């Protein structure tokens, strides 16, 4: 396990940071981090949701050496990442963990486990208890069985080495649907899933059952749209691939998780059991400053490209204007020639414009966020 500080003595020094028992944890498939400015965008979203810890999937970063998997941002966040280590490896898969200073000061150590798994451990106020986080990016449902077996065997090996007395959180993009039927798995999941269980979902549920983990988000009732981490452009197909589970012994203190529609960000306000909290209180009494993002767009999906969703023309026009203005403030320009509009079941003939230019209307397009 890697120590993030310069020396073992400094890394293991107890530094109480948080004055509250609640910590906020999220997980997000960012589609790629291999783009200019994407790291700062993800960090901004993390601050906007006031997260202490954010797990990310599909970073598409390469880890050039066993010791090079960390980066500190100018805004103070620490990014730990794990990816392919082979020479001339493709920019695929990859996982990581974003830590605010509160989580950084409680960090004991972390370990890279290839392009699909990364782990980190954090101190709590209970000296003999620590919080373990495992961030994952599982093979898709269509992947061959060998890749799936390799991933889940490696994951099982990690989970078996976690101490039963610790608080353990397993989260990430499992490319799985667990459905609503929990027959035979009542102690593992609730009935608040979406659709029917997939093959990947069966493997994920069995893994949680084997390791005494409860699947969050399946226990508490939510609106249907708040259960999804992916929505098709026509708002007809909903899917939940970003999942998290936690040790059963802490289930009584678990608050409902929630999916954030604006960025498909899955967040967990995680209250530790009575007597537990992250060991993270600043000696000089200073309070960490938050830097919220003021501009927020509803109905915004993004992968490598952007797709704005709206039920009528006027809100779409306003979203386009706000997006263009906000992008220009950070040095990003929208290509008018590559920006298209798709109308479904509407009689409006007024075009959507971008900086005075009418955007081309098309009858179909390929949505890369699938």
Query: What are the tens digits of pLDDT across the range 303-355?
Result: 346 777 777 788 888 888 888 887 777 667 788 888 888 888 777 788 889 88
**Is residue 313 helix, strand or coil?**
helix
Answer for the pair 209, 188: CB distance below 8 angstroms, yes or no: yes
Task: Name the band, by pLDDT with cuts 50, 70 and 90, for residue 225.
Answer: low
Query: What are the tens digits of pLDDT across the range 113-132?
Result: 999 999 999 998 888 889 99
pLDDT at 247: 64
CB atoms within 10 A of CB 341: 18
Query: What are the tens digits of pLDDT across the range 270-292?
Result: 555 555 555 554 444 444 333 33
Query: What are the tens digits of pLDDT across the range 76-123?
Result: 999 999 998 877 788 899 999 999 998 999 999 999 999 999 999 999
pLDDT at 2: 55
Is pLDDT above 70 for 11? no
Answer for the pair 80, 74: CB distance below 8 angstroms, yes or no: no
Can you name the residues that pair with 224 across neighbouring β-strands?
A: none
Name the residue with tokens 């263009």.
324
pLDDT at 301: 44
All structural domains of the chain, each given as residue ranges with its CATH number in brackets, are: 8-271 (3.60.10.10), 300-362 (no CATH)
Q: Where are the alpha helices (DSSP H) in the chain?
A: 8-11, 38-48, 101-106, 145-160, 199-210, 313-329
CA distance 328 to 323: 9
Residue, of 6 and 305, whose pLDDT is higher: 305
What secondary structure letter does DSSP report for 100? -
Three-class HEC string of 225-276:
HHHCCEECCCCCCEECCEEEEEEHHHHHHCCCCEEECCCCEEEEEEECCCCC
Residues with Cβ within 8 Å of residue 127, at least 6 apart in sequence: none
pLDDT at 19: 36
Q: What percent of the chain has pLDDT over 70?
A: 67
Please, what sign has the CA dihedral across residues 152, 157, 160, 166? negative
Highest mean pLDDT among 143-147, 219-223, 287-291, 349-353 belongs to: 143-147
Is pLDDT above 50 for 182? yes
pLDDT at 16: 37
Is pLDDT above 50 for 233? no
Residue, of 268 and 133, whose pLDDT is higher: 133
Range from 19-33, 231-245, 301-315 carrying the lowest mean pLDDT = 231-245
């Amino acid at each position: 396990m890697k120590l993030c500080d310069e020396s073992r003595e400094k890394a293991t020094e107890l530094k109480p940071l948080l004055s509250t028992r609640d910590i906020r944890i999220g997980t997000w498939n960012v589609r790629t981090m291999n783009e200019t400015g994407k790291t700062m965008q993800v960090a901004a979203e993390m601050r906007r949701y006031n997260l202490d810890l954010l797990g990310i999937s599909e970073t598409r970063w390469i880890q050039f050496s066993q010791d090079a998997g960390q980066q500190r941002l100018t805004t103070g966040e620490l990014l730990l990442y794990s990816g392919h280590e082979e020479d001339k490896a493709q920019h695929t898969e990859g996982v990581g963990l974003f830590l605010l200073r509160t989580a950084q000061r409680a960090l004991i150590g972390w370990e890279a486990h290839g392009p699909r798994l990364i782990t980190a451990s954090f101190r709590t106020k209970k000296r003999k208890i620590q919080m373990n986080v495992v961030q994952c990016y599982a093979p898709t449902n269509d992947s061959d069985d060998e890749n799936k077996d390799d991933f889940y065997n490696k994951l099982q090996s990690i989970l078996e080495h976690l101490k039963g007395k610790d608080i353990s959180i397993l989260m990430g993009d499992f490319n799985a649907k667990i459905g609503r039927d929990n027959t035979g798995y009542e102690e593992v999941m609730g009935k608040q899933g979406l659709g029917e269980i997939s093959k990947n979902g069966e493997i994920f549920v069995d893994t949680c059952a084997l390791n005494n983990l409860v699947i969050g988000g399946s226990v508490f009732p939510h609106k249907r749209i708040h259960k999804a981490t992916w929505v098709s452009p026509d708002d007809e197909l909903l899917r939940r691939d970003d999942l998290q589970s936690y040790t059963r012994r802490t289930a009584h203190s678990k608050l409902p998780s929630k999916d954030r529609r604006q960025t498909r960000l899955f967040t967990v306000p995680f209250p530790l059991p009575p007597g537990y909290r992250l060991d993270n209180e600043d000696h000089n009494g200073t309070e960490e400053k938050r830097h919220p993002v003021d501009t927020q767009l509803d109905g915004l999906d993004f992968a490598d490209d952007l797709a704005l969703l709206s039920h009528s023309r006027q809100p779409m026009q306003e979203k386009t204007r706000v997006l263009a203005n906000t992008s220009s403030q950070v040095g990003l320009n929208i290509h008018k020639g590559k920006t298209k509009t798709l109308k479904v079941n509407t009689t409006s003939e007024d075009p959507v414009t971008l900086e005075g230019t009418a955007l081309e209307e098309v009858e179909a397009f390929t949505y890369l966020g699938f």
